[in-house]
A and B are shown apart, each in its own frame.
Chain A
């Protein structure tokens, strides 16, 4: 089973700042990685798929990069609604797994 590790566990930032979230896989997942946002009390929302492709309706301030084992989600100029938990997820082979999440909270 491929294990995903996310860092940091918590990121404290102010609105308008840039958030840089990391996801590392225990083995190469090529570009088979997605990112999700989950706000309190809501279902997750797909932000990025295939490491760098924004999902439908996702603002341009969200961008994904990386391949192999190291991936990054960048959120430029944080908006109030961006303070949430972010999960990475691979689809390289079964079982698909999620990372433990990074919480972005208000500094």
Chain B
């Protein structure tokens, strides 16, 4: 069974930093691209970032480029995102997700989500 268990999140002040992690199990982690998606309260889904299975290729939405850094540790089956220079508009539930297969671009499995609140 595919399992994505997220950790991190919480309350952070504007301008602050936070790191989210996603522990993966039940599949060949290094063989699948992974992504982060967020959902602001009461709003729709926003695809933030993706990383290839090897970690050599990364993509970012313009809204987080230069502030967020996606990474993965294939020895520990863990996906992470370092979030810097956080703003009120970054307040959202953040999900990690696994591609349906390889680098397909469709998200077949999702973590439970973790709430990030940016507020003073």
Give the B-binding residues of A (Cβ under 8 A).
1, 32, 34, 36, 38, 43-46, 49-50, 55-56, 87, 89, 91, 94-101
B11 nearest CB across to chain A (Å): 20
Give the A-binding residues of B (Cβ under 8 A).
37, 44-47, 50, 59, 61-62, 95, 100, 104-108, 110-113
A95 nearest CB across to chain B (Å): 5
Task: Point out the residues of chain A lying under 8 angstroms from B106, CB to CB.
Answer: 34, 46, 49-50, 55, 89, 91
Q: A46 contacts B45, CB within 8 Å? A: no
Q: A95 contacts B44, CB within 8 Å? A: no
Ordered nearest first, which 8 A-B pairs have the shortest CB separation? Answer: A91-B105, A43-B110, A49-B106, A98-B45, A34-B106, A96-B47, A94-B59, A101-B44
A93 nearest CB across to chain B (Å): 10
- 11 residue pairs of the A-B complex, CB under 8 angstroms, read A43-B95, A43-B111, A44-B110, A46-B108, A87-B44, A87-B45, A89-B45, A89-B47, A89-B106, A96-B47, A96-B105
